[in-house]
Structure 1
Amino acid sequence: GRFFYQFGITVAGAVIISLFVAFTLTPMLSSRFLKHEPELGPYRPGLIYLPGNLLKWILRTWNNFFNGFNDRYKTTLEWVLHHRLATLIIATLAFIGALGLGSMIPSEFTPEQDQNQIYISFKAGPDASLEETANLAAIAEEKIRMYPEVSHILTSIGGEQTPVNEGTILVKLPPKSERKRTVFELIPLVRQDLSTIAGFNPQVATEASEGGGSQTVEYSVRGPDLNITKLIASQFEDIMRQAPGAVDVQNSEKQARPEIQISMDRDVANDLGLSVAGVATTIRNLIDGVVISRLKDVNEEYDIRLQLAPEYRKNIDDIARIKVPSMKKVGGENYLFEVGNIAEMKWSSSPNEIRRYNRQREVRVGCNVATGYATSNISDYLMANLNKINIPPGYDIKPVGMLQIMGESFASIFMAMALAIIFIYLLLASQFESFIDPLAIMLSLPLAVVGALLLMFIVQAKLSIVSLIGIVLLMGLVTKNAILLIDYAKQQRRKGINRHDALLIAGPVRLRPILMTTLAMIFGMLPLAFGIGPGAEFRAPMAIAIIGGLISSTLLTLVVVPVVYTILDDIAAKLVGHETVQREVEEEADQSE
């Protein structure tokens, strides 16, 4: 809910300050600078008058265009007022069509950005040592350095919570303006090159995944029995591999690590004075090593680890020859016994980690999204084909990580949109002292959605939390046009003008301020929509939604809102038994009476 907290605070603060300026500074400046402008006059000959003549031509051209547009608008407004049913049908079809287009727009959580980097997480074979993993990473680095756009490479392998067969490679690139190819063009090429390395399993993305998952699209397959859960996860993985745009498909249970299982004969061990804990500790100290001291070199300190040499800890026979001291003494002497004499050893495998979700065994199946696709392309395909899997009762497949956060965030945005509509209605109802008039004004809201979705569909933008924030912002922007129109029409009705003529007066008079404010907002959003500057991919969807919503809302509001206003006014008049707007009695008439 706080994803755009700073954005909301900034917009609210700016609107409050602009309201204060509009009530104080603007009237003062208008009284000082606004004068009666004389006629432009004819063009004057001579080169010296060229700038003035050019300005006159621009002003005349604009005024002629606007006057012609105003006349055509008045004619259109008069037509729609006489054909109210046809106008409503057209507006309704436009809204339904926009919703249909909206279902065709792919969605994602946040837009992908060219952040001048490529993030690669990789896994070597389950039994790979640190040296083997480092060799594979070195081969990957050589392939990555072949791209001229690469400036720096940082590789890390293993860690406190990461096994030695896993690691990451962070590839830094120059600024976008200094290279010919974008990150989105490089990622498929890098992924293809790295996939040719035997024993190297990479995942290539623009940044590390958030939300607790390791990939953009991730599902949790859970249930009480691990074997059945594995079977369901395997079938779900097969479906995911066929999904459009799914790359780097991973299954958490397919990375089982080989291990040597040691089963002690407890009776024999007890007779020889050996304990399970003592045997385990001795093997661990010799194989994994134990830190016995630290070496200080200038400002750095290094652990001194004591362990068997590599050639003495390669296989089962080496472990079988490890000698463990007995706790019993015979004739005052300590005896050592080989592990192979008291235990049975065999190769086996086990998962790297045991996953649980809500106390149920879990298997994670996930993938990344290929360039040119969206998260919804994969999730919609998976949900459409989920019925191909026989899921027993008690087992479930649910989205997790970024996909889960995306669903929760979208739900929160729609809730915020609903609250915005309620608050707008309450504010308008108090302002107009009517419960009916705000309904006509608020018709601008669905009309704004028409343009927002239509423009996003035309430019092939993706629906994300950023574009939804733009649609929420539209809720407060587009109602101003209808307010200007309806308020002025009601002023004319209070002067005794009938409703039809009042609307024909209000429309052309309010057309200029409506177009001025709308065009100012559109031109202010154009730099964001064009994607200029670093991080522009993140901001552009919001600007596209706002521009599309403003265009459709302005054009449709000028013709549809007056029609709806007349219909609602007729309904209200029938309910109260008289006209909803009464003519104001002039003060002079009151005094004469």
Structure 2
Amino acid sequence: GRIRQVRGVTKTFTTIGDTTGRISRGQGEVTRAGIYCRLIDLGERKYSQFESMTDARRILVDYPDLRAAVQDVAAISASGFRQVMIDLNLRGPEMGKLAEYSQRITDWMRSHGSYVDVDTSLSFRKPEVRIVPNRERASELGVSVQAISATTNILVGGYPVSTYKEADQQYDVWLRADLGFRDDAVDIARLTVPSTKPGVGVVELGNVSDFEEAQGPSTIERFSRQRQVVVSANLEGKALGEGVDELGAFVRTLDLPADYRWEFIGQAKNLNDTMANFVIAFGLAFLFMYMILAAQFESFVHPLTILLAIPLTIPFAILSLILLRTSLDIYAMFGLFMLFGIVKKNGILQVDYTNVLRRRGMARDPAILEANAVRLRPILMTTVMLVAAMIPMAMGEGPGAASRAGMAKVILGGQVLSLLLTLLLTPVAYSLWDDLTILLFRGGAWLGWTEPAVTAAAPQQEP
């Protein structure tokens, strides 16, 4: 009832129990439940889904005995799959050690307010009876550990022995002891196991085993033949990259033994992979742009002059995201690549017209001043047009607008903040590179190099 009072919630749907028990025996969890909420359309409310999720978390604080989390509905519905921002995978041979390490990690995360919905895949809430074979007594009575294991597995856990078909449906036939013979430790102790010792026949399980009642894990997950525990959480007021870095730094301080491993999976892993691929893509884009410009200008120097402004736009793009409180997601990265092309275009206009004026016989410095004065107007026109086009996308509302806004804000802020710098940097870089080229040719005169000269051509009418 209290969830329905969260602002924006129009409908709720409750599920109790994990239906995976229908697929694989023993996996159902009657202590698990979920409440799915439907919100009113985005166009009819002034607050975001994340604000409604925060309101729901405030309600769950009143139920400390619950292991609860507020999250998006998973795009893929599967057992154990959660739509969370951070998933940390811990792997190792001993479940007790994994439980200890995961507890230390979750305690640290809960002590930092930015981590919410902190939980682990490990849950010691399933009552169980542990059967510990007494090897000495079992050996005296001719009972093997394998016989104890097989007996308890079949009579207590059950085992499929056959199938039968009714109409067009096929059902498994399970062999299992009646509930009265497996209801508690006393009943299980009366079960008999075969003995290989002559004259003994069968032995009660209680004579060759000790019984302990304890709380065990609901499921034991494995990854790459190792036991695993997944620590999961969402973030509030902190970027995913920052949260991952801080958590990773803390896990390193635990000094895990050599046979224990940890790694981020899910969205956190995708972020790390995306950043690595972004660096590779940026390097390849820079290389391809240089090759094309070198072919167009028939020079190895002028492309450097044009591309020099591109790395300087990245800090301005990041600054715009910080000022506009937007995270660096995949859409923002697309916007960065578009920003590279826009900045490169401005440099091409400046350098190309400077070369045109020098071919007409104008000296270098006057040509630089003239070219930048003439090309300032088209550069400002395209910049204003681009900024005007990006404003609606950056401020847009409706489904999916928040994702697309990142791309628009990168282009908008990066172009506006870096415009003045690129207008000043390109002519200065052109002059410096030209001086360096002349100096290199003069210094290499003993190799027979000749200083490049600009041949005055007949005046041409500017197109």
> Scaled by the length of structure 1, what TM-score is found?
0.62
Q: How far, CA to CA, are the matches of 1:317 and 1:300 in structure 2?
A: 38
Counterpart of 2:109 (choices 240, 245, 263) is: 240
Correspondence 1:196 to 2:71: no
Deviations 1:26-80, CA, capped at 9 Å, x for gaps: xxxxxxxxxxxxxxxxxxxxxxxxxxxxxxxxxxxxxxxxxxxxxxxxxxxxxxx
Q: Which has the higher helix share?
A: 1
Counterpart of 2:329 (choices 464, 476, 479) is: 464
Map 1:390-539 to 2 at 5 A.
Answer: 390-539=255-404
Q: How far, CA to CA, are the matches of 1:466 and 1:186 in structure 2?
A: 24
Q: Which residue of 2 aligns with 1:218?
A: 87
CA shift, 1:471, in A, is 1.0
Q: Which residue of 1 aligns with 2:457?
A: 585
Q: Which residue of 1 aligns with 2:198?
A: none
Q: Which residue of 2 aligns with 1:183?
A: 49
CA contact (8 A) 1:262 1:343 kept: yes
RMSD, matched Cα? 4.0
CA contact (8 A) 1:445 1:553 kept: no
Name the aligned partner's letter for residue 14 of structure 2: T
Q: How far, CA to CA, are the matches of 1:311 and 1:359 in structure 2?
A: 36
Bigger CA drift: 466-475 or 248-257? Answer: 248-257
Counterpart of 1:281 (choices 125, 144, 154) is: 154
Counterpart of 1:173 (choices 17, 36, 39) is: 39
CA contact (8 A) 1:444 1:478 kept: yes
CA contact (8 A) 1:236 1:389 kept: no
Counterpart of 1:206 (choices 66, 72, 75) is: 72
Deviations 1:130-168, CA, capped at 9 Å, x for gaps: xxxxxxxxxxxx221223522232333312365323343
Bigger CA drift: 351-360 or 434-443? Answer: 351-360
Q: How far, CA to CA, are the matches of 1:587 and 1:555 in structure 2?
A: 32
Name the aligned partner's letter for residue 116 of structure 2: V
Q: Secondary structure of 1:427's match?
A: helix
CA shift, 1:571, in A, is 0.9
Bigger CA drift: 504-513 or 407-416? Answer: 504-513
Bigger CA drift: 546-555 or 435-444? Answer: 546-555
CA shift, 1:501, in A, is 1.3
Distance 1:318 1:290, change over 3 A: farther
Q: How far, CA to CA, are the matches of 1:152 and 1:253 in structure 2?
A: 31
Name the aligned partner's letter for residue 517 of structure 1: T
Name the aligned partner's letter for residue 362 of structure 1: Q
Counterpart of 2:432 (choices 563, 567, 573) is: 567
CA contact (8 A) 1:447 1:549 kept: no
Deviations 1:218-254, CA, capped at 9 Å, x for gaps: 2233345554444333333332222341112223344
Name the aligned partner's letter for residue 357 of structure 2: Q
Q: How far, CA to CA, are the matches of 2:64 and 2:372 in structure 1?
A: 71
Name the aligned partner's letter for residue 252 of structure 1: S
Q: How far, CA to CA, are the matches of 2:9 and 2:330 in structure 1?
A: 31
Q: Secondary structure of 1:373's match?
A: coil
Q: Which residue of 2 aligns with 1:71?
A: none
Q: How far, CA to CA, are the matches of 1:293 and 1:357 in structure 2?
A: 35
Name the aligned partner's letter for residue 507 of structure 1: N
Bigger CA drift: 414-423 or 348-357? Answer: 348-357
Q: How far, CA to CA, are the matches of 2:43 and 2:180 in structure 1?
A: 53
Q: How far, CA to CA, are the matches of 1:191 and 1:300 in structure 2?
A: 45
Using CA pairs under 8 Å that are at least 6 residues apart, name the structure with larger relative contact order, 1 or 2.
Answer: 1
Correspondence 1:378 to 2:228: no
Query: Identity across aligned pairs (percent)?
Result: 32
Q: How far, CA to CA, are the matches of 1:369 and 1:228 in structure 2?
A: 26
Q: Which residue of 2 aligns with 1:6?
A: none
CA contact (8 A) 2:69 2:117 kept: yes
Map 1:114-153 to 2 at 5 A.
Answer: 142-147=1-6, 149-153=8-12
CA contact (8 A) 1:316 1:345 kept: yes
Q: How far, CA to CA, are the matches of 2:13 and 2:208 in structure 1?
A: 47
> Scaled by the length of structure 2, what TM-score is found?
0.78
Q: Secondary structure of 2:384's match?
A: helix
Q: Which residue of 1 aligns with 2:13?
A: 154
Q: Which residue of 1 aligns with 2:446?
A: none
Name the aligned partner's letter for residue 377 of structure 2: R
Q: Secondary structure of 2:118's match?
A: strand
Q: How far, CA to CA, are the matches of 1:301 and 1:199 in structure 2?
A: 42
Q: How far, CA to CA, are the matches of 1:148 and 1:337 in structure 2?
A: 64
Deviations 1:524-560, CA, capped at 9 Å, x for gaps: 2212211322111111111111112222343222221
Q: Secondary structure of 1:487's match?
A: helix
CA shift, 1:566, in A, is 0.5
CA contact (8 A) 1:413 1:469 kept: no
Residue-pair matches, total: 432
CA contact (8 A) 1:529 1:541 kept: yes
CA shift, 1:277, in A, is 4.4
Q: How far, CA to CA, are the matches of 2:272 and 2:81 in structure 1?
A: 15
Name the aligned partner's letter for residue 436 of structure 1: V
Q: Which residue of 1 aligns with 2:416?
A: 551
CA shift, 1:425, in A, is 0.6
CA shift, 1:562, in A, is 0.4
Q: Secondary structure of 1:474's match?
A: helix
Distance 1:481 1:188, change over 3 A: same
Distance 1:464 1:581, change over 3 A: farther
Name the aligned partner's letter for residue 186 of structure 1: S
Bigger CA drift: 205-214 or 221-230? Answer: 205-214
CA contact (8 A) 1:569 1:580 kept: no
